């Protein structure tokens, strides 16, 4: 367990996170759930790993990671929150259903039998792409409602998948969580159908500048790791979260603590932001608020904050997780109406023994004002 749950010291961390729905707190003080929030904001615990999801009998799996929300097609104003679980050998995806007033009405597994489900991405057609983070890892396409079984997408390659994002050009852009990982794109043979298509990797003389896309000879990796098949591949230091808005594709690399910008219209790659000091001390999962173009960057360690990176590159810590330095912030996303923020502390302490297995939170408050929507 300790390989994926931080140091042994995490077994004896601070008090158990409570399930209270706390009132807004003074600036700088942690609320009853251990979160430091801006004035006017409050939090509640949605699920603790190893325990039943609030309001259901479904046991939440360990190590919650990448997440997204989806409109409930059967209930006007309702939605689903899907969350990956980065567990070796038995990861998978949980889907939690919400009523229009935010009440949790159900929870279920929508993907099982997979391993180290790290991040992923939502598709424009309403499915969730969950990514397995090991060298032979695959991408699985999931139905948030659980109405259809998860389907593996072999054409999207076998490598240490981290995250995926469908851009305006109809392609899926993918990151690889390895110190010498690649930046990939997948072009479906038929728009919106990920069962077949072309997997390419970005190449060029350096990570900054124009990218040239070269087909991956063997996406199945049967002849060798994907990242060794194209010698001219541009290598990124631990690809992490990815999202897209317009012609921009944003992704992070944890090794050098950078936020990157790729332009689908010009093929240009550039460094958007160099983290590592000040408010944004580390980078991991990433989510873009379409209405305001603000990026939400989750810290893997660092200050244990979820940081908003504004279009002018100024930063603001929206959430700080207190007393969980051995964990990481994962899965930032908003409810479809943009009023509820979800995220997890992947190795938050749970239960009487403070087992470092993870908790998923919800934050509410005046987000339109904070984001400048």
* Cβ-based neighbour number of residue 100 at 10 Å: 12
Question: Is the backbone of residue 113 left (phi > 0), alpha (psi -120 to 50) or beta?
Answer: left
- Examine the pLDDT at 9 and tell me if it is beyond 50: no
Query: How far, in Å, CA of 36 to CA of 279, rounded?
Result: 14
Please state, for a pLDDT cut of 90, what percent of the chain lies above it. 91
118-145: average pLDDT: 98
6-22: average pLDDT: 34
223-249 burial, b for 16+ CB within 10 Å, e for fewer? eebbbebbeebbebebbbbbbbeeebb
4-29: average pLDDT: 41
- Examine the pLDDT at 206 and tell me if it is beyond 60: yes
The model's pLDDT over 182-200, given as tens digits with 9 standing for 90+, comes to 999 999 999 999 999 999 9
In terms of C-beta density within 10 A (0-12 exposed, 13-18 middle, 19 or more buried), how is residue 139 classed? Answer: buried
119-126: average pLDDT: 98
328-335: average pLDDT: 98
Query: How far, in Å, CA of 116 to CA of 237, rounded?
Result: 19
- Examine the pLDDT at 39 and tell me if it is beyond 50: yes
Confirm if 61 and 111 have CB atoms less than 8 A apart. Answer: no
- Examine the pLDDT at 7 and tell me if it is beyond 90: no
pLDDT band of 6, cuts 50, 70, 90: very low
**Average confidence score pLDDT of the chain:** 93
Higher-scoring residue by pLDDT: 312, 12: 312
pLDDT of residue 278: 83
The model's pLDDT over 258-317, given as tens digits with 9 standing for 90+, comes to 999 999 999 999 999 999 988 999 999 999 999 999 999 999 988 999 999 999 999 999
DSSP 138: -
pLDDT of residue 27: 58
350-368: average pLDDT: 97
The model's pLDDT over 56-73, given as tens digits with 9 standing for 90+, comes to 999 999 999 999 999 999
pLDDT of residue 26: 56
pLDDT of residue 23: 47
Q: State both tokens at 55.
A: 């309001």
pLDDT band of 28, cuts 50, 70, 90: confident
Residues 6+ apart with CB under 8 A from 14: 34, 323, 324, 349, 354
- Examine the pLDDT at 14 and tell me if it is beyond 60: no
- Examine the pLDDT at 8 and tell me if it is beyond 60: no
pLDDT band of 20, cuts 50, 70, 90: very low
pTM flag (> 0.75): yes
Q: Delineate the domains of the chain, giving CATH numbers in brackets.
A: 8-371 (2.120.10.30)
Confirm if 128 and 93 have CB atoms less than 8 A apart. Answer: yes
Q: State both tokens at 18.
A: 């409570």
pLDDT band of 54, cuts 50, 70, 90: confident
* Lowest-confidence region among 24-33, 79-88, 248-257: 24-33
Q: Edge-to-edge strands of the sheet including 248-253? A: 209-210, 268-274, 258-263, 248-253, 239-245
336-363: average pLDDT: 97
Residue 203: CA count within 13 A, CB half-sphere: 14
């Amino acid at each position: 367990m300790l390989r994926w749950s931080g140091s042994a010291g995490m077994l004896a961390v601070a008090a158990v996170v409570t399930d209270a729905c706390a009132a807004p707190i003074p600036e700088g003080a942690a609320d009853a759930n251990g979160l430091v929030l801006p004035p006017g904001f409050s939090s509640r615990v949605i699920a603790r790993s190893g325990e039943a999801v609030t309001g259901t009998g479904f046991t939440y799996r360990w190590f919650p990671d990448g997440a997204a929300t989806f409109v409930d097609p059967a209930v006007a104003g309702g939605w689903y929150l899907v969350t990956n679980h980065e567990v070796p050998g038995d990861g998978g995806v949980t889907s939690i259903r919400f009523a229009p007033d935010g009440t949790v009405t159900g929870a279920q597994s929508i993907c099982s039998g997979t391993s180290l489900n790290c991040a992923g991405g939502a598709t424009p057609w309403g499915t969730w792409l969950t990514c397995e983070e090991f060298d032979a890892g695959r991408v699985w396409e999931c139905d948030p409602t659980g109405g259809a079984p998860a389907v593996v997408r072999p054409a999207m390659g076998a490598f240490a998948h981290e995250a995926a994002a469908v851009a305006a050009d109809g392609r899926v852009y993918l990151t690889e969580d390895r110190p010498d990982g690649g930046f990939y794109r997948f072009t479906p043979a038929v728009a919106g159908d990920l069962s077949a298509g072309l997997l390419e990797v970005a190449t060029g003389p350096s990570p900054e500048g124009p990218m040239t896309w070269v087909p991956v000879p063997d996406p199945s990796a049967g002849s060798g790791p994907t990242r060794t098949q194209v010698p001219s591949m541009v290598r990124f230091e631990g690809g992490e979260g990815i999202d897209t808005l317009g012609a921009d594709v944003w992704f992070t690399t944890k090794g050098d603590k950078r936020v990157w910008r790729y332009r689908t219209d010009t093929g240009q790659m550039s460094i958007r932001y160099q983290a590592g000091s000040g408010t944004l001390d580390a980078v991991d999962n990433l989510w873009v608020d379409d209405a305001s173009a603000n990026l939400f960057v989750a810290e893997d360690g660092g200050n244990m904050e979820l940081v908003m990176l504004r279009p002018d590159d100024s930063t603001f810590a929206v959430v700080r997780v207190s007393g969980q330095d051995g964990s990481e912030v994962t899965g930032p996303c908003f409810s479809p109406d943009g009023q509820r923020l979800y995220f997890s502390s992947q190795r938050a302490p749970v239960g009487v023994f403070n087992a470092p297995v993870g908790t998923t939170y919800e934050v509410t408050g005046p987000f339109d004002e904070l984001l400048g929507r």
